[in-house]
Structures are given as structure tokens and as C-alpha cells.
């Protein structure tokens, strides 16, 4: 069975990588067991690195490298065409690369808890799901 191709937004990844909250531990296990295939682009990886560098997280460069090593090797890298696919405008410009990646990577879903992205769910070509809804769709 082919694993679902998923775009995971930065906040979802932070919850799985950094906070290891009980509600998101399944996600890390899912990509490491190849139950899902996360997609990444240059822009989404840069956004993750940018956010991991926030002083409030107190991460050293080796800490960030360790976290990225727990995620990026499991990803399929998607090259975004120039011009990129046309997406609906999102209120937060930092969310736009995730919409572009979902289309360019032929994602099965974009997984997010971000309200700005969730409000586009009815009008976007790729399903936009909360982590809980995505988890419910995966085989046990």
C-alpha cells in the first residue's frame, strides 16, 4: 500500500519534533515507519529551519541539526516549478509555500492546525485536514 503523501505545516512539525506532545507523537512514528510520506520543498524546509532558530526554543545549531535529521531523511523533496502552481491567497504569507507544495507535490492532504489554512479547505484542490482528522484516516 502506498503511504499518503502529506504536507505537514511548521506548527504540526514543531509539535511532533520539538514538543513531543502526546497528541502528536503518532506523527513522528508514522513517518519513521513509512506509514506516511512527508513532502518538503526548499521553501518549507527553510521555514522550518527559520522557526527552529527562534530564541524562545533555546536550540543550539547541533540541536536543530538533530531535529532536522529526525525528519528530512523521511521526506520526498519536491522541486517547485517556475512559475509555481497558482494557489488561493492566504492571509499569512508564510503559509503560501505549503499550499504551493501541496499542489506541486500532488499531496493527498495538507495537515495543519493553522486557521488561515483551514479556512481554505472548502476551496482548495488538496484536502486540508487537522492532525486529528488525518490520524483518523490512517490504518491502525
Q: Residue range 95-124: average pLDDT?
A: 95
- Of 14-18, 32-36, 65-69, 126-130, which range is least confident? 14-18
Domain ranges of the chain: 5-137
Q: Residue range 13-38: average pLDDT?
A: 87
- Across the chain, what does the average pLDDT equal? 93
All three cell numbers of 124, joined, read 482548495
CA 80 centroid distance within chain:
15
Level-2 CATH architecture, domain 5-137: 3-Layer(aba) Sandwich (3.40)
Percent of the chain scored above 70 by pLDDT?
Answer: 98
- Convert the pLDDT of each residue in 53-70 to its tens digit: 999 999 999 999 999 999
Describe the strand order of the beta sheet including 5-8 as a list of residue ranges: 76-77, 37-40, 5-8, 109-111, 128-129
Provide the 10 A C-beta neighbour count for residue 105: 25
pLDDT of 139 reads: 82
Give the pTM: 0.94
Percent of the chain scored above 90 by pLDDT?
Answer: 84
pLDDT of 21 reads: 59
SS3 44: helix
- Cβ atoms of 54 and 63 within 8 Å: the answer is no
Amino acid at each position: 500500500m502506498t503511504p499518503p503523501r502529506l504536507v505537514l505545516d511548521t506548527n504540526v512539525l514543531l509539535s511532533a519534533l520539538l514538543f513531543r506532545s502526546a497528541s502528536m507523537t503518532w506523527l513522528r512514528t508514522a513517518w519513521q515507519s513509512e506509514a506516511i510520506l512527508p513532502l518538503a520543498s526548499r521553501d518549507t524546509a527553510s521555514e522550518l529551519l527559520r522557526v527552529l532558530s527562534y530564541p524562545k526554543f533555546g536550540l543550539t545549531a547541533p540541536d536543530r541539526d538533530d531535529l532536522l535529521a529526525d525528519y528530512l531523511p523521511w521526506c520526498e523533496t519536491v522541486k517547485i516549478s517556475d512559475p509555481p502552481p497558482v494557489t488561493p491567497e492566504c492571509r499569512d504569507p508564510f503559509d503560501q509555500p505549503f499550499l504551493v507544495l501541496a499542489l506541486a507535490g500532488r499531496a493527498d492532504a495538507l495537515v495543519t492546525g493553522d486557521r488561515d489554512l483551514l479556512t481554505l479547505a472548502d476551496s482548495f484542490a488538496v484536502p486540508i485536514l487537522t492532525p486529528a482528522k488525518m490520524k483518523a484516516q490512517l490504518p491502525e
